[in-house]
A and B are shown apart, each in its own frame.
Chain A
Amino acid sequence: MSATATRESAPRELTFAQAVREALAEEMRRDPRVFIIGEDVAEAGTPFKVLSGLAAEFGTGRVIDSPISEAGITGIAVGAAMTGMRPVVDIMFGDFLTLAMDQIVNQAAKIHYMSGGKLKVPMVVRTTLGATRRSAAQHSQSLHAWVSHIPGLKVALPATPYDAKGLLKSAIRDDNPVVFFEDKMMYQLKGPVPEGEYTIPFGVADVKRLGTDISIVATSSMVQVALAAAERLAPMGIEAEVVDVRTTVPLDKDTLIASVKKTGRALVLDEGYRRYGVTAEIASLLVDEAFYHLDAPVKRLGAMDVPVPFSPVLEDRTVPTPEIVVETAKNLCGRS
């Protein structure tokens, strides 16, 4: 359920990357406290070119090229956020979150609580997730479950350009540390983004496709996979409802539960490692809250529990595909 009314107002199409850039530009124009810091963010506009043009508009004093110092820039952002600024840290690949993890987990996430609510850390860590770029094991991971695990952090996983823009604007305005994941494979994905200003609140899932037979609850790029699978399931007489989680923290339990109560079946789909992951959390929630409505066990699909291999023939096996989703959904619905 989209939380805004402006969705239909203009048929303009943007890429995911453009939507992210527009959100940043609008927020920087609106609020002089917002600044960007990261490696090769200024003239280069990041290796994915997501930030192209921002340095030209806002100057290198607000779009700051940093050394290759993930821990350092994240720590600096924590301090700047605590003292009145609203930093957006660019961590080029989600894999490099590991280098900044102390600052995110032990500093940013803890300070508001530890200070008895006296201090706050309004910062955003923008980073990427996703495999299938042949980038191998140190540039392909989807580590959002890691940060979703930590109280004190909020976590967003947009699946469309529209959501990316609205959620990023909310993230920047949030008074808490937010980790914002963008799938590298989706940067060129196009979708409608209205001209006007809008935000999407955290903790509101979005039903991307209505259905009656099974709920596919998905995150980030897996929402696109779920939609593709749903199209293939329809001619088989299976109408899948696709529910986009949008933010894992806070999690919109009500929308998820309502969907499953309606369809009676659930498949949870996420690109993080399967074990101990986001899918386990959501599946457990659905079993707890909708047990008597379920006609079949809740199934989960995620990345294989292996480091992502380089060779295309191997890498493609590690991530859920529409084919696997279709197969699993058919089984859940008692077809084969």
Chain B
Amino acid sequence: MAHRKTKSRTAKSSGPARDERWLRFYRQMLTIRLFEEEVNRLYQSGKMPGLAHLYSGQEAVAVGVCEALRRDDYITSTHRGHGHCLAKGASLERMFAELLGKAPGYCSGKGGSMHIADAETGNLGANAIVGGSAGIATGAALSAKMTGSGRVAVCFFGEGALGQGLLYECMNMASLWKLPVVYVCENNLYNEYTRFQETTAGEIAARPAAFAVPCEAVDGQDVIAVHRTSQRLVERARAGEGPAFMLCNTYRFYGHHVGDVDRGYYRSREEEQRWREGRDPIKLLAARLLGSRLADGRLLDQIEDEVRRQIAGGVDFAFAAPYPDPSEVERHVYA
């Protein structure tokens, strides 16, 4: 059985005890990490078609943010979307099935790694157009406001999307109309093979500020910090106080995509090692849990075993699943 979010939860103190939540964060981050390690293996062994952009290293952002959301809140994601989808409650079975192009996948095999959407968990879709979901997230926030649903939309994007004009058009409207949307910028330092400093002028935070959208910067490797900040910004949006911008400083451990292995020309091994060893969000949380005696090594091992079993189950499910019927190719073009 895949791990699922069972209950919708508000971010209020009525939730489970703090230590239980932190263990949950741990489990969620580990699920994303191990999911992706499996994806990498599948790709390397030629069992997965297409490409995959791994999220490893950035797990604290997806988990910290999505844990501050209700199940019926909306998210939009990116080409690097596995983490967001899982954190929002997607099942491992259907994720793997989609990645293998199988019929029970989230998109019936039509979307693949870069386009996973799940209406049931409020996931309006990963998006392979950089910045492409700024309109969708902002529109979801508009509809939440118009219908009084109390929902909030979170727009995840990489810092590369700061180059796209659509984002600024949308932020302007979101601010004017006080829409309940949180723009979550994950700055992992690189747009594909280029350092973000070479593509991004000035202060990132000054950009939302120009639209009177409040911006908070947060250590994207610290899931608790991400969580606390997003809780505040999400509740603020839910209360009708308008959009916010969260800048998460983070790092991707792998290349731009699974095939990007020779990356010495744009970043150093030492830099990668530094982040992997000193700034791994999962290790950081584990140390915190152990240090404050909220968990012992045995419990963390037990969680890891469970997660590994779930991952294996998800992969088995996906391999056993059928491919879509060829006639599917013409279905779903129109609703």
Contact = CB atoms under 8 A, between A and B. Distances in A.
Interface of A: 39-40, 43-44, 47, 65-69, 71-72, 95-96, 99, 133-139, 304-307, 309-314, 317-318
Interface of B: 49-51, 98, 101-102, 107, 109-115, 127-132, 160-165, 191-194, 198-200, 265-266, 323-324, 326, 328-330, 333
Contacts of A312: 49, 101
28 contacts: A39-B194, A40-B194, A44-B192, A44-B265, A65-B199, A68-B163, A68-B199, A69-B165, A95-B129, A96-B129, A99-B129, A99-B164, A134-B49, A134-B101, A134-B112, A136-B50, A136-B111, A136-B112, A139-B128, A309-B110, A310-B98, A310-B107, A310-B111, A310-B115, A311-B49, A311-B323, A314-B110, A314-B329
Contacts of A44: 192-194, 265-266
A72 B199 CA distance: 12
B268 to A, nearest CB: 14
Residue among B98, B164, B266 with max Cβ neighbours from chain A (10 Å): B164
B323 A313 contact: yes
B329 A68 contact: no
A137 B329 CA distance: 12
Given A136-B128, A139-B128, A314 B163 contact: no
The interface residues of chain A, by DSSP majority, are classed as loop
Q: Which 10 pairs between the two chains have the least Cβ-Cβ distance? A: A310-B112, A311-B101, A67-B163, A134-B50, A311-B109, A44-B193, A67-B199, A134-B49, A138-B128, A69-B163
Contact of A136 (B114, B165, B324, B333): B114
Contacts of B107: 310
B323 A306 contact: no
Given A68-B131, A135-B50, A317 B326 contact: yes
A314 B328 contact: yes
A135 B162 CA distance: 24
A284 B5 CA distance: 57
Contacts of B198: 65
Contacts of A96: 129
Given A68-B130, A134-B49, A317-B326, A310 B101 contact: yes
Contacts of A72: 163, 165
B158 to A, nearest CB: 9
Given A43-B265, A136-B115, A138-B129, A310 B163 contact: no
A69 B164 contact: yes
Nearest to A43: B265
B50 A310 contact: yes
B110 A311 contact: yes
B163 A313 contact: no
B200 to A, nearest CB: 7
Given A69-B163, A138-B115, A311-B109, A40 B326 contact: no
A314 B114 contact: no
B200 A67 contact: yes
Contacts of A317: 326, 329
B109 A68 contact: no
A66 B165 CA distance: 14
Contact of A40 (B163, B192, B324): B192
Nearest to B102: A311
A198 B107 CA distance: 48
A204 B75 CA distance: 51
